[in-house]
Structure 1
Amino acid sequence: MTNNSENFKTAPAKPEGGRGPSVKRDPVDFHGLLLVDKPSGISSHDVVARLRRIMGTKSVGHSGTLDPMASGLMACLINEGTKLSQYILEGDKGYRVRIQFGIRTDTLDTTGETLETKPVNLVEATLLAEAMKLQGEMEVEVPIYSAIKVQGKKLYEYARSEKDVVIPKKIMNFWDVKFLGMGQDWAEFDLRCSKGSYIRTWVDLLGQALGCGAAMSGLRRTYSAPYILEQGQTLEVIEECVKKNTLTGCFVTMDAALPMVKRIRVKGQDQVLLGNGQISHDLRSQLIAAFNPDSDQFVQVLSMEGKLLAIVGLESGRGFVLKRVFKY
């Protein structure tokens, strides 16, 4: 097998134009998502800080933290787009992971302190068999070096202060595990997981199953539902686009941010009432006709011109409720 480590290098800047037509819009007035191809070596907070400067707004968030060693897709939220955070965060994720066998560390990746080393004698058939077993839902401990809070304190704070703590368990779900290649003491896989699942944990479980230990040595996010890495752009390309006042296909407008969520349209007085936080009788009738409680969690309400106005949900005992109203 060939060494595929180049998959974890920062992707070269993609040509301007992205996957959609360029549009002229003042970036300060942009509301929606920005699909960023994050390089390794910087934190998610660093990406947000740089986008605040590039876009000229403090209202910037993101759809899930990537560790500094990781690269790949970050769906960042701009201005009114920050109100979409909970809907984007809930989505599944996809990753390309590189694994170093024969080592265990305190952080479950190769940036941590080594706890144990063992000789490695990888057999491809055994490796594949054990990797494919690690699919589906499983309840496992979260990494001690994670931001999950226990009694108001982040787990990594307990770890750094060497204080005892009961490590919580969590349901994680992994699927679509695909083998990419291997060497004497390493391997690479593509896989998908549910929100809040830790790839480091999956790697550690694989190392335990093989009896030699393992640590994550590279990670690249390839998917953040419903977006793929190829739709993203580097920070450098994004900055150049903003300087030219040309927003490319990596900029996703509010009306296109949730393509999997059903939508209905309103106009006139129905739209005015919606802006005031009220659901009109006619809109309620539309919602009843459109909403399927078995498959729909939310419905998007747009103007006739296609502007996202609100997200509506159905709550037991309350009926239709405005979850978010957008004003831009």
Structure 2
Amino acid sequence: MTNNPTIFNGLLLVDKPSGISSHDVVARLRRILKTKAVGHSGTLDPMASGLMVCLVNEGTKLSQYILEGDKGYRVRAQLGVRTDTLDTTGEVLEKVSVEFPKERILAEAFKLQGEMELEVPIYSAIKVQGKKLYEYARQGQEEQVVIPKKMMNFWDVEAVEIGPDWAEFDIKCSKGSYIRTWVDLLGKALGCGAAMSSLRRTWSAPYHLPQAQTLEQIEQAYTGAPPWGTAFVGMDHALPQIKRIRIKGQDKVLLGNGQISHDLRSQLITAFRPSEDQYVQVLAQDTGHLLALVGLEEGRGFVLKRVFKY
């Protein structure tokens, strides 16, 4: 536990260990940082490890902008096994002995790239008729629900290590794509079934795993004075993909009252490119603090989407 009086606002890049839930990570951070205002931008299952982008205090207002990012993973597939959950934590439905040449595994894996419309796993939190899919599965009601399909996109599939009955890959995917589903597809392509045996998130755009710290490292760092390390991303650096402008004086005062001044509007007109930009960040000239996110709406002009208070 820390007695650090400094209040942190922004993102925390956590290297989650396997064996605990994303909720457990958030609960631990709430204790370390002494704030209830902690969330995250994408769940990792208990068996998975790696990069979790957590949101702290004013950073929780950034959730929808962080969630939009693509993801990268290192995944290991166990070949010759088929389970109800599509990973090795589930009930084994079929198991066969297999031994494939490396070239065959690679050839099938590299074919599984691009955008595809696929069923989501039955063991997932997607809701159908107000009920999570995994609830249907646990209650033996799979026949009572139509499993929805969604567009998933996989690319940059690279082999890390290949064995006769297992394979490890680095892979990138769009938000909301299921790596378990990709592994299942690989098993079907090889004709033997496959289940995900390990998963580590390495990238959550624009952040990479080497920037993250373990919960223990974060707790130790936060006992001292800032800067606390690369895992702590302040509000002014949280959205590097979004264009930024700076203001001062009366423009800043008016913005704090929810108003866009004439000078700020002029800056926005110059900076904003409707074909490229959804939002523009407005930062304070003196402190560098992120003050607001501004968007352009048809019929309304420039609109304050988010205002941040420190």
Q: TM-score range by the shorter chain?
A: over 0.9
1:46 aligned residue (7, 13, 24) = 24
Match of 2:20, SS state, is: coil
Corresponding residue number in structure 1 for 2:79: 101
* Alpha-carbon offset, residue 166 of structure 1: 0.6
Corresponding residue number in structure 2 for 1:7: none
The answer as to 2:161 corresponding to 1:177 is no
Is the Cα contact below 8 Å between 1:255 and 1:307 reproduced in 2? yes
Is the Cα contact below 8 Å between 2:159 and 2:168 reproduced in 1? yes
* Alpha-carbon offset, residue 28 of structure 1: 5.2
Distance 1:133 1:283 in 2: 50
Is the Cα contact below 8 Å between 1:73 and 1:228 reproduced in 2? yes
Percent of aligned pairs with the same amino acid? 76
Corresponding residue number in structure 2 for 1:263: 244
Corresponding residue number in structure 2 for 1:275: 256
Corresponding residue number in structure 1 for 2:175: 195
Corresponding residue number in structure 1 for 2:148: 168
TM-score using structure 2 length: 0.95
Is the Cα contact below 8 Å between 2:69 and 2:175 reproduced in 1? yes
After TM superposition, the structure 1 = structure 2 runs for residues 44-193 of structure 1, keeping only pairs within 5 Å, are 44-163=22-141, 164-193=144-173
Corresponding residue number in structure 2 for 1:10: none
* Alpha-carbon offset, residue 119 of structure 1: 3.0
Corresponding residue number in structure 2 for 1:220: 200
Q: Deviations over 1:247-305 (max 9, x none)?
A: 22210100000111100011112111111112122211111110111111111000102
Q: Structure 1: give runs of 5+ residues left out of the alignment.
A: 1-24
* Alpha-carbon offset, residue 27 of structure 1: 6.1
Distance 2:230 2:43 in 1: 23
The answer as to 2:268 corresponding to 1:287 is yes
Distance 2:12 2:235 in 1: 11
Cα RMSD of the aligned pairs, angstroms, is: 1.3
* Alpha-carbon offset, residue 124 of structure 1: 1.5
Q: Runs of 4+ in structure 1 displaced over 4 angstroms?
A: 25-28
122-131 or 135-144, larger mean C-alpha shift: 122-131
Paired residue type of 1:236: E
Aligned residues: 304
Distance 2:135 2:265 in 1: 48
Distance 1:64 1:99 in 2: 22
Match of 2:121, SS state, is: coil
The answer as to 2:282 corresponding to 1:304 is no
Is the Cα contact below 8 Å between 2:284 and 2:290 reproduced in 1? yes
* Alpha-carbon offset, residue 316 of structure 1: 2.4
Corresponding residue number in structure 2 for 1:326: 308
Is the Cα contact below 8 Å between 1:27 and 1:245 reproduced in 2? no
Distance 1:287 1:229 in 2: 34
Is the Cα contact below 8 Å between 1:95 and 1:192 reproduced in 2? yes
* Alpha-carbon offset, residue 126 of structure 1: 1.6
Match of 1:29, SS state, is: coil
Q: Structure 2: give runs of 5+ residues left out of the alignment.
A: none
Match of 1:252, SS state, is: strand
